Each structure stands twice: as C-alpha cells, then as structure tokens.
Amino acid sequence: MDRNPHGPSRRDVLRGALAAGAAVTLAGCGSQADAPHSVTVDQWRQFKGATLNFISENTAPTAAIAANTRPFTDLTGININIVTLELTALVQRVALDLASGHAQYQVIYADPYQVLAPYQRGLVDLRTMQADPNLPHLPGGVADFIPAQMDAAGRFVDPNAYYTLPYDAPTMIWQYRRDLFDKYHDRMANDLGFDPTPSGERTWDEYYRIAQWFNKNATSDVKYGTGHQARQHDSLMNDFSNVLWSYGGAYFDNGKEVGRIGSRDPGPCRLDSDAAIAGAEFYQKLLAIADPASTTWDWDGVGAAFRAGRLAMCPNWHEFAASNEQVMPGKAGYSPLPRGPVATANMYGGTGVAISDNTRPHERGAAWLFLVWATSPQTQLANLKSKAGGGTPTRTSVYELPEVRAAEKRPSPMPNMLTAAAVRQAWEPDKIGLRPKIPMWNECNTAIFTQLSRMLTGGSTPADAMRNIKARVDQIVARGWVA
C-alpha cells in the first residue's frame, strides 16, 4: 500500500533517495547459477560476492535502506539491488516470478493480502532458516516482533509457520490540529457537553459532533471539521472498515482470526448483518458533513489537505506524522481512533519481507542474511533516524531504547515516534483492525470499495450497498482460488 504523501514530504524524498541510493538495474537477472559460497567462521561473510534482488513497494523503510545499502554490503560482501514498484505492479511481477520456477527476485515485499495469502506456497517457511545452525539467527528471536504484527504480516493458516518478517507497520489513527483543539477547547466542551480532546475514549458519534462544530464555528481557521480517504479505491475500504468494526460488523465470521492468521475458506460474507448496516449508515452520515473532496482522495489526498490547513482532523496512516511535522511542526496531535457502540478498531496496513521458494540453496542463505539485517533492531533504529523516510519499528526492543522513548516528545529527531502512544494502543489485540487475510481478498476489496463509492454518491442505500457487497463477495469466495 503506497502511503506516501504529496508535497515537500516523503514522496519526493523517497524518490530522490531511491534514485540516488539504489541500483534499479538488476545484475544477473535470469542467471541460473547459485550464489557463491565459502566456508568461513564468519557466518555473515559466507556468501561474499553474491547479488540479491529485492522487489518492494515504495515505502519508508525501503527508501531508508536504499539510500544507504553500504552497511549491509560491508557486513556481508553481498550486493543488494532494490526495485520499487506501485503495489499492483509489484504483485503482478511477483506472481510471474513465482510461476517461472526461477527467482529473479530473491527477496520479496510480501503484502499480507495480495502476496502472502494468494502465493504463500511460493514463499519459504522461515522457520527453516532460523533453525539452520550455519546461519545467523534473529536477534531477540521471533518473540521480539510485536505479536499482532508477527501474525498479521507473517503467518497464513498455520499459526506456527511464518513466511515473512514484519517490515513496516502503518496503522490508521486519529490525526488532529492540536493547536485548534487547544484554542477552542473550552468553547467546544461547553457547547458539546463533553471533553472534545481526542482519545480512544471518544466515540464516533462525538467525532461527528466535533467535526460539525468546526464546520459551524471555526471557519476562519479551518474549512472543514473532518476529511476522509473516500475515493473509489483501496483507501475507501480502509477508512470504512474502522467504523464497520467499531459497530460490531464483520466481513466474515471469526473476523479477528481470519484477519490475524488467515483462511483459505472464510465462509459467507456477513456484511448484511444489522451491525454492518448500522456502521454503513453512520459512515454515510459522517461523510455527508466531511470535506466534499473526500470522495476524490486516497490517503495521499487527505494527508495533503490536512497539512494544507484545510481540515481540523482526519483518520489517516500514522506514518504521515513525519510529513505533518515537516510542514506544520508542533501543530498536529495523534490519538487512537474513536470507539463505536461495540468496539475500537484501528486499521493495520503493515507488510513483511519474504524469500522466494524458487531460490537456490546459497541464494536462500544470502537472502536470509538480508532479512535478518533489514529487520534487526540496529537497522530499524537507523531507519527511524534516516532523512530518506523514517518508517516505524516492528520490534518491541526498539521502542524500549532510551533515545527512542525520548523521541516520543517534541522536539523529536524521529517524528514518527510522536505517534507511539497512539499506535501502541492501536496494536493491542482488541483494538487492531485486520482486514480478511484470504487469497481472494484483492477481488473482494474491489467489490467493497465500488459499492461503498456508489453509496456515498447516492447510487444506493447503505443497506443495499452492504447486501450487494455480500452477494458479490460470496460469489468470489465460492469460486475459490488456485495459485
């Protein structure tokens, strides 16, 4: 999921870093030979002279690594070529590569829904690498990764196997103009009858009323109280799902398990339930008072509008904090999303890095060295500090480092850490929002955001939209998936 914002922020920085720091012309593509291997007491140097190709979406950790691959090459003697693509193009390229029987890309950015679930059989079970006495082990082991992320990004169906290591962790939270909430706090509290300060204890109904208050009372400071990523796009499914789950709606039975571990046969879609329809009705009501441009925005669009001072608040991916702090330092605040009548949900969009099962034995070993290094605490800390992106750690131990803890307060040299208190709550098992991890999700997702878009533009009622989605998703699931 390409979550980089517009303007003088991460998209431009990432592009520059990738162009300057990464070789995008693959060396040795199509070669049938295995990687070189030598017997040495240094496990990190045994594949010296090898070349790896890493295919990734354009994300913050990849940009930071691409801007400075030298530490990995100095450590291992391995050259790493990094190719970045938009996610849809990446999925197509990976599918072709896995079907070819030969690994052009040894290391794969494996989106849980578009790569891991449909193509899990084409990825290496990384337990075999961690158990190999001839290879370096993960520092801190698998247990150092945040558990919900390890499951959501790394596992599929089998709760013991893991096919990726958590690599990035974008999560939707409540982003708001802290300066405006401070300025109008007392007036809002008096008019609304509750403390408007954003927190996970606020409700979606209160969020609606706060947005409405800004629309009516603060037009000299901000144009709209809220904005959303409600374009007919994956972003719309993400934005809506937070509300759906908070109302007790679910895409399938056992939704938490289907989201966390995954399923090849999730059963019938449950979007025709009363709870799901109630969530859709509220979402339609909320969007009716939001910035009208919301139906044209994905996450980039709403992020740019927030930074431009157009919105008092919005739900968006937490990693936009780096851009917020660059453009309007000190003015943004971050909180978990509001709760609904039944639950709290904060959509998780993280991804792991995997090894192609088409790799030859020494290639596989070299690829494991890259995975261990790229997800290590030292590299994640370096990524946090990088001017080429930032990213967010996926390891518990990194968040416990004193300098990382200190960065949670302004002025912060690691601006994404300003969201740490919010995302720590968002990643709790009962609060993390996990879309269904099923092989056919991409097609289901298209059905979902297409019908939601019709609902928002007056083409159907919430009840009809939910029933139409259910009917289409049931058809897709019944057809199954053959990879």
pLDDT, tens digit, 9 for 90 and up, residues 9-22? 333 333 333 333 33
pTM of the model: 0.91
Q: Specify if 201 maps to a domain.
A: yes
Q: Specify if 211 maps to a domain.
A: yes
Q: Specify if 42 maps to a domain.
A: yes
My answer on whether 268 and 192 are in the same domain is: yes
**For the segment 400-456, what is each residue's pLDDT rounded down to a tens digit?**
999 999 999 999 999 999 999 999 999 999 999 999 999 999 999 999 999 999 999
My answer on whether 368 and 446 are in the same domain is: no
Over 80: is that where the pLDDT of 69 sits?
yes
My answer on whether 395 and 459 are in the same domain is: no
My answer on whether 443 and 341 are in the same domain is: yes
Among 344, 303, 347, CA closest to 326? 303
Among 3, 11, 306, CA closest to 168? 3
**CATH classification at residue 132:** 3.40.190.10
Q: Tell me 7's DSSP state.
A: S
My answer on whether 154 and 269 are in the same domain is: no
My answer on whether 381 and 252 are in the same domain is: no
DSSP 164-225: -EEEE--BEEEEEEHHHHHHHHHHHHHHHSS----STTSBHHHHHHHHHHHHHH-TTT-SBS
Say which residue, 8 or 105, is predicted with more confidence: 105
My answer on whether 153 and 182 are in the same domain is: no
My answer on whether 305 and 452 are in the same domain is: yes
pLDDT band for 389, please (50, 70, 90 cuts). low
Among 390, 362, 393, CA closest to 376? 393
Q: Specify if 414 maps to a domain.
A: no
Q: Tell me 316's DSSP state.
A: E
Say which residue, 32 or 409, is predicted with more confidence: 409
pLDDT at 480: 84
When the pLDDT of each residue in the chain is averaged and rounded to a whole number, the result is: 92
Q: Which helix H or strand E contains 107, and what residues bound it? A: strand 107-110
My answer on whether 70 and 217 are in the same domain is: no
CB atoms within 10 A of CB 305: 22
Q: Angle at CA 268, nearest 5°, toward 482 and 449? A: 80
Report the amino acid identity of residue 169: A
Give me the number of domains the chain comprises.
2
Q: Specify if 408 maps to a domain.
A: no
- The whole domain housing 189 covers 172-346+434-479
Query: Using CA atoms, how far apart are residues 283 and 330, in angstroms rounded to an integer?
Result: 30
Q: Specify if 120 maps to a domain.
A: yes
**For the segment 216-237, what is each residue's pLDDT rounded down to a tens digit?**
999 999 999 999 999 999 999 9
My answer on whether 460 and 314 are in the same domain is: yes
Q: Specify if 333 maps to a domain.
A: yes
Q: Flag the least confident range among 186-200, 287-301, 403-417, 469-483.
A: 469-483
My answer on whether 378 and 339 are in the same domain is: no
Among 139, 168, 148, 154, CA closest to 14? 168
My answer on whether 183 and 158 are in the same domain is: no
Q: Specify if 475 maps to a domain.
A: yes
Query: Using CA atoms, how far apart are residues 346 and 340, in angstroms rounded to an integer?
Result: 12
